Copies of this chain bind each other. A is one copy, B any other.
Amino acid sequence: MKKYTDINDITNISQTINEAIQIKKTPFKYKGLGANKTLVMLFFNASLRTRLSTEKAAKNLGMDVMCLQINNSWNLEFEDGTIMNLTTSEHIKEAAKVIAQYADIIAVRAFPTLKNKDQDYAETIITSFTKYSEIPVVNLESATAHPLQALADAITINEFAKDKKPKVVLSWAPHPKALPQSVANSFVNMMQQLPVDFSITHPEGYELHSDITKNTAVNYNQEEALKDADFVYVKNWSAYGDYGKILTQDDNWMITQQKLNNAKFMHCLPVRRNVVVEDAVLDSENSIVIDQANNRTYAAQVVLKNILENL
């Protein structure tokens, strides 16, 4: 693996999932692999799970880790030819090349604006770091994708799936804030590559980018969609068409124990209880959200391991 900015960077998904499950059994087996190698993690946005799981994964491999919370203190310029006499103080060309002097792998988190669709879907930040740093870049959730989450989700489904081909449904749920499409996008991409029966349900108007959904079935009737599901992956996202907008907060879309029936409940977290999903679900044995969170470590570790082996 030369980078991990979207799930297409994985050449053989089932092999990668199996390798992650092996790593989970003996997480310190490859501790020599990362010796004298440095992971620099850049956060343009806050992070809990992604920060901790990726740092832990890197240290399990023996890497040194340096974390930088960038936030608003560092205004990068991404346009070519700009006369930088206003708010931006450093060009991505210098920034990326400089960080590459101190890192063997760069990991970047940079959320979308949710205001400028073209800019967000161009993935300017993560793409620019890849282009100019000339070293492997790992996506810690970008404007439109969260591939480490999707890999952790795939590992978790693999662990919990019974013999038969499971039915997996991605269901939109209400939320008081406008959220990115990143998690949903990467989950759809991942499910399309796994041996699962996959469909999506959401209110009209919440269609994801057609380049993402492709031929995946979409059902506007949540009750019908969830019928006989083995895994229900729940996530809010703001509209892609009417970009970044909240079109409804209809609480009929909240996931309940009754709707779920015996399906496993999945969510990337953090989750707002009794808005996205009722307490009874999260407190039941059908919730596997903590398993997903745990697998974030091994998703990151298999990615870092494969990148380290290719340095």
Asked whether, in the complex, the Cβ of A275 is within 8 Å of the Cβ of B83, the reply is yes
Binds B, one of A12-20, A92-100, A191-199, A255-263: A92-100
CB-based contact A274/B98 at 8 Å: no
A247 contacts chain B at the CB level, 8 A cutoff: no
CB distance from A13 to the nearest CB of B (A): 23
Copy total for this chain: 3
- A64 vs B68: C-alpha distance in the bound complex, in angstroms? 17
A266 proximal to B (CB < 8 A) = no
Enumerate chain B residues within 8 angstroms of A73, measured Cβ to Cβ: 46
Given A272-B89, A273-B84, verify A102-B297 contact (CB < 8 Å): yes
A97 to B102, CA, bound (A): 31
Indicate if A36 sits at the interface (CB-CB under 8 A): yes
Judged by a CB distance under 8 angstroms, whether A168 is at the interface is: no
Q: Is the CB of B68 within 8 A of A98?
A: no
Q: Tell me if A30 counts as interface (CB < 8 A to partner B).
A: no
Residues of chain A touching chain B, judged by Cβ–Cβ distance below 8 Å, are: 27-28, 36, 38, 40, 46, 48-49, 51-53, 55-56, 59-60, 64, 66, 68, 73-74, 77, 80-86, 88-91, 93-95, 97-99, 101-103, 176, 269-275, 279, 282-283, 289-290, 293-294, 296-297
